[in-house]
Structure 1
Amino acid sequence: MSSRKSAADAEISNFCGVTGANPKVAKQYLDKHKRLDRAVDEYFMNGGTPLAASSNKAGPSTTKLNAIFDKYKDQDIQEDLIGIDGTMQFCEDIGLALDDVVLLAIATDLKSKKMGSWERQPWIDGWKVLGCVTVSVASPRLITRHRCDSLEGIRSVLPRIRAKLHSDPAYFKKVYNHTFDFGRNEGQRSLAMDSALPFWGLLIPAGLSGQALAHYVATEDGDEALPPPGETGWTPQLTDLWTEYMETKGGKGVSKDTWQMFLDFVRSMDSRLERFNALDTWPSTIDDFVEWAKERL
């Protein structure tokens, strides 16, 4: 079997694992897009139907999305916002815990600028873009189109958001980078450590559970290549060590540079940190962490 065929079979297997589709449907989407992330996105946007069977459906209703916004809008302020109380009630109504990582993805897609704050137009536009797909949690193969202009519809799209966050490196990076600005206190350039640690605690395990933080080896040209057989990437043990180090030696805040480069660090490091090169341009926090962590591995 050629290496090209093996790679194609692996892509089909990954597509089926994320979507629950059969290999024939997986091949349709992968042949069209040539990229797993784009193929998965269109599959879900088409309601899980084969390409030939997909059809256009009416999108979410602006009127209904406005009504949902008004239901949770903060009535005690002049600004047209859903505030903290409304956020808590909304999450309760759609069955989403406040510490669920999916909320960070929703905040990114709805362009929320800070925790517990949602502006009307980005709210409406965001839910429209997120699409209208119903995914059965009990039976992932049972996927039907649904307009997410109701609480039921919004609730039904959450599994797709979760699957994309876990499986799509580009989308994960978008959510990860937005979280820095989203969680930062107004007027501060850094992200407070007591916010950064919980965010890492949500995001890193989510990325590791799928392909979003898949291990790669950086080439001399700056491209990403598959690691050698048998080499493992970032592990929960390293996450625990990073948390311990930042709690005790990380200071009061995390700079944007450290926050963003930590994501590349996680993806490019092996489980023993043997690929670390002190001559690379990592932030000093990461340099110091590697020296500290190697004594504990």
Structure 2
Amino acid sequence: MPSSTTIRNAVAQMMGITGASERVASSVLKKHNYKLDAACDAYYASGGKPAVAATPVEDKSSASLSNLFEKYRGSDDEKDSISVDGTMAYLTDLAVNLEDASSLIPLEIVQAPAIGEMTRDGFVKGWQKAGADSNTTLDTIAKQKAYIASQTKLLSSDTALFKRVYKHTFVCSKERSQKALPLENALVYWEMLFSSPGMIWTSATTDWLALWLEFLNAKWTKTVNKDMWNQTLEFFAKSREDETMSFWSEEGAWPSVIDDFVIWVREKRGGGAAADNMETD
């Protein structure tokens, strides 16, 4: 096996040639005994794309964003990460409300690995992408603050934006070593996401969020895994359009917690039997 120095050099070369991430470059090189040509050929054959040279504007933006990142990196933080204090200071400077969904928007943009953590790579690439999508550069706190304010206004009506923020919230709000969220944490984030300035979970005559929180507090003792989190979003969308829940059936692919919730709601409305024997292990 090649020396660690040789491996690092090969990974760096492949990243520069192909634009692959460090993780992907390391994996492909390992499969091909660290032979650079073979690894690059395999990467392209599997659908990878050649790296596009950065433009001067991109280089300048990258440097500006990296410098802005440094402003919030504490003296005890690792070189390419910002911990809780710096992240909270950053969110405060963006003028988001830490108690509502506006605070989750920048965390999705920078792909924060945790609520109180940001990485340099995620910060730089995330804001470059947001800038490219909006035809501008977002490399100062003033520009980012204005952008977040505009996204916050869109959050209640832009389905794609809300879905991105919703799904990333699960990723960054759980412990890295865990695959699920404690119920009490999930309840907090659902209340943030399904209330203003997020998408309000109500229909003509039903306050779905209140029912969902009441049901889970009374009947559910498990953690919340990724499937339950994502399927709740699907149920949210359908129930806002059809509060009779005619879209639901026992033969459907909904998780058991949704099945039990539907039965529970119908019982409260006087239209079905309650689910008295739910799984609680």
User: Is TM (by shorter chain) over 0.5?
Assistant: yes
Contact kept in structure 2, 1:132 and 1:157, CA below 8 Å: no
Which residue matches 1:246? 216
Amino acid across the alignment from 2:256: S
Q: Which runs of 4+ in 1 moved over 4 A?
A: 232-236
Q: 1:80-122: per-residue Cα shift (whole Å, max 9, x none)?
A: 2111101111122221122231222222221111111100011
Q: Partners of 2:238 and 2:124 in 1: how far apart?
A: 37
Give the deviation of 1:146 after TM superposition.
6.2
Paired position in structure 2 for 1:72: 72
Aligned counterparts, 1:191-270, within 5 A: 191-205=181-195, 206-209=197-200, 233=203, 237-269=207-239, 270=242
SS in 1 for 2:178: coil
Quote the residue 2:83 is aligned against.
Answer: 83
Q: Which amino acid aligns with 1:267?
A: A
The answer to whether the 8 Å contact 2:110/2:126 transfers is yes
- The answer to whether the aligner puts 1:278 opposite 2:250 as a matched pair is yes
Structure 1 residue 77: Cα displacement: 3.3
Q: CA deviation at 1:290?
A: 1.1
**Is the 2:100–2:193 Cα contact (8 Å) retained in structure 1?**
no
Residue pair 1:72, 1:90 contacting (<8 A) in 2 also:
yes
Q: Which residue of 2 aligns with 1:184?
A: 174
1:149 aligns with 2:139: yes
Distance 1:125-1:98 versus aligned 2 partners, 3 A rule: same
Distance 1:290 1:88, change over 3 A: same
Normalised by the size of structure 2, how large is the TM-score?
Answer: 0.66
1:163-196 Cα offsets, whole Å, 9 max, x none, are 4432222332222222112111122121111211
**Cα 1:189–1:168 shift into 2, 3 Å:** same
Change (3 A) 1:198 1:173: same
Give the C-alpha shift of residue 207 in structure 1: 4.8
Q: CA deviation at 1:79?
A: 4.6
Secondary structure, counterpart of 1:185 in structure 2: coil
Larger Rg: 2
Q: How many residues align?
A: 209
CA distance in 2, matches of 1:247, 1:275: 25
- Cα drift, residue 286 of structure 1: 0.7
Amino acid in the other structure paired with 1:161:
Q
The Cα offsets for residues 41-84 of structure 1, whole Å up to 9 and x where unpaired, read as xxxxxxxxxxxxxxxxx677322212211111132133521111
Q: Using the alignment, how far apart are the partners of 2:137 and 2:164 within structure 1?
A: 25
Q: Secondary structure at the match of 2:155?
A: helix
Q: Work out whether residues 83 and 116 of structure 1, in 8 Å CA contact, stay in contact via their aligned partners in 2.
A: yes
Match of 1:105 in 2: 105
C-alpha change, 1:132 and 1:92, in structure 2 (3 Å) is: farther
> What is the match of residue 123 of structure 1?
123
CA distance in 2, matches of 1:236, 1:102: 25
Is residue 175 of structure 1 aligned with residue 165 of structure 2?
yes
Equivalent residue letter for 1:176 = Y
The runs of 5 or more residues in structure 2 that have no matched partner are 1-56, 270-281
Structure 1 132/257 Cα, relative in aligned 2: closer, same or farther at 3 Å?
Answer: closer
The letter of the residue matching 2:261 is: F
Look up the equivalent residue of 1:261 and give its one-letter code: Q
